[in-house]
Amino acid sequence: MIEKATVVGIEEGRARVALERSEQCDRCGLCVMASGRPELEVRSIPDLRPGDVVSVEISSSAMLRGATLLFLVPIIFFVVGAALSRPIMSALGIGVGENFGALVTGFVFLGLAFLGACLVERTRRKHMKSGARIVRIEESYE
């Protein structure tokens, strides 16, 4: 998928770009949670300046990975946490109702899933593995 974006800033070989919402974004729904315009960090290219309008290619596998990491993995962790509540609660010596214990451990596991997702995303950003790249400069502002 190729999207138009505006370069917001450039630092140490990385460009931060603000994506323009398209029809594909509306169908996908992943960017609904972003306030304002969604931003990406991508590897900079020569002659790139803040304010330039660029075309950014986002691989479909990266979009699928992101959706899985953000939605599917936390749901699975919640269910596994709820299912393991009885052995976890008995191992910790905590006597609570079965439903309440399932809810508590489910939310603990959900929190761990989101923490893991944040760490994975931070690592991907650090190593510039977002699955997005600048294809070309559409309009340059000098």
Low-confidence ranges of the chain (pLDDT < 70): 21-36, 62-63, 124-130, 141-142
Looking at residue 66, its pLDDT comes to: 72
Query: What's the whole-model pTM score?
Result: 0.57
Pairing of β 39-43 and β 132-139: unpaired
Q: What is the distance between the alpha carbons of residues 41 and 13, in angstroms, rounded to a whole number?
A: 10
Per the CB < 8 A criterion, the answer to whether 5 and 53 are in contact is yes
Look at the chain and report how many structural domains it folds into: 1
Residue 16 token pair: 């931060």
Looking at residue 88, its pLDDT comes to: 86
> How far is the first Cα of the chain from the last one, in angstroms, to the nearest whole number?
28
Per the CB < 8 A criterion, the answer to whether 77 and 110 are in contact is yes
Looking at residue 28, its pLDDT comes to: 55
Looking at residue 128, its pLDDT comes to: 55
Q: What is the distance between the alpha carbons of residues 39 and 25, in angstroms, rounded to a whole number?
A: 13
Looking at residue 75, its pLDDT comes to: 93
Range of the domain at 99: 2-139
